[in-house]
Amino acid sequence: MPLISVIMPSYNHEEFISKAIESVLNQTFEDIELIIIDDGSKDKSKEKIKYYKKKDNRILAIFHNENKGIARTMNEGIEKASGKYLSLFSSDDVWVKDKLKKQLKILQENKNYVVWSEGLIIDDQGNPTGELFSQKHGACKRKKSGNIFEELLKGNYICGQSIIFKKENIKNIKFDEKLKYLNDYKFMVDLARRYEFYFIPEPLAMYRIHGENTINSERENCFKEDIIIRKYFLQEYANEIQTKTKASISFTIGMLNLHFEKKTNAKKWIYNAIKFDPLYSSKKLLLYYAIKNINNIKKIIKRANI
């Protein structure tokens, strides 16, 4: 039985999957199993997975005949895993060689930590963009270690490709198969509700930005799911979170409804936010209108060629 099970969902990443697989197999910590689940790829991903499977018996390869979605694929990988610890990965990203070794050192202090790290942003050619994952998600100053449950409710900033945790700790936590895009965010919040996180500031994972990333190609659908998830947070954790956090969630739902020009819903949720925390919500609302007016002024200046 391996100590660590690495779960790698795969879908149409033939250009990147070799680097991803090699970065796992070449870890300085070797007591692992790599579970690769190809979710009905239409490119040559399957052939590449089979090639590495022949070379290394630590690989368990599963192939779907049709696409079942990332949430169902991840849940299947978790069910198949035999390791004490689980580490989640993506077939278009890369790990540094001693990623697992450094994280296991932290887990020796507390086996119930959810250990994660900073990520380095790379482009489709594997070149660093000069940006870190935390920078890209506006999370440089956000709390990253300890009890981050309420902080995470405001928005996801976890580099999911870097995390490792004890399998036993997620008995009743699964990826929500009703969600197509943001199931990882809901999973992280549910995990943070129960366990403390430990952040390693060194970039141990490389997060690849390319044209097929969900956030680039499906932004509008992500916004729709964001509304669903935040409503879930308010319903599921209403009695456990501060009023300011409730206000933040409600305000975000309001702004997302405004994005879709659903003004009646937007007003309702913004009003709820004000009821939860009048001072916080009023400041957010004033800031929104200030930014909106500045943008309108810029448009007028541009049209007038001033």
Residue 298 has pLDDT above 50, yes or no: no
Taking the alpha carbons at both ends of the chain, their separation in whole angstroms is 70
Q: How confident is the model at residue 21 (pLDDT cuts 50, 70, 90)?
A: very high
pLDDT for residue 292: 64
Q: How far apart are CA 43 and CA 203, in angstroms?
A: 30
Of 284 and 217, the structure prediction assigns the larger pLDDT to 284
Query: What is the pLDDT averaged over residues 11-27?
Result: 97
pTM (2 decimals)? Answer: 0.89
Query: CA 49, CA 14: separation in Å to the nearest integer?
Result: 9
Mean pLDDT calculated for residue range 146-154: 96
Segments making up each domain of the chain, as ranges:
4-217, 242-303
pLDDT digits (tens, 9 = 90+) for 152-200: 998 999 999 999 999 999 988 999 999 999 999 999 999 999 999 999 9
The CA distance from 300 to 291, in Å, is 14
Quickly state the pLDDT bin for 40 (edges 50, 70, 90).
very high
Q: Is 130 helix (H, G, I), strand (E, B) or coil?
A: strand
No. of H helices and E strands in the chain? Answer: 12, 9
DSSP annotation of 161: G
Burial class (CB in 10 A: 0-12, 13-18, 19+), 130: exposed
Q: In the prediction, which pLDDT does 287 show?
A: 76
pLDDT in tens, 54-105: 999 999 999 999 999 999 999 999 999 999 999 999 999 999 999 999 999 9
The answer to whether 55 touches 61, Cβ cutoff 8 Å, is no
- Which CATH class, in words, describes the domain spanning 4-217? alpha beta
What is the model's pLDDT at position 295? 56
Supply the mean pLDDT for the chain: 91
Contacts of 290 (CB under 8 A, 6+ apart): none
User: For residue 293, what pLDDT is reported?
Assistant: 60
Give Cβ neighbours of residue 202 (< 8 Å, ≥ 6 apart).
Answer: 102, 117, 118
**CA dihedral in degrees (100, 163, 221, 70; nearest 10)?**
60
Per mean pLDDT, which of 81-85, 213-217, 283-287 is the most reliable?
A: 81-85
- 145 contact partners, CB below 8 Å, separation of at least 6: 196, 197, 198, 199
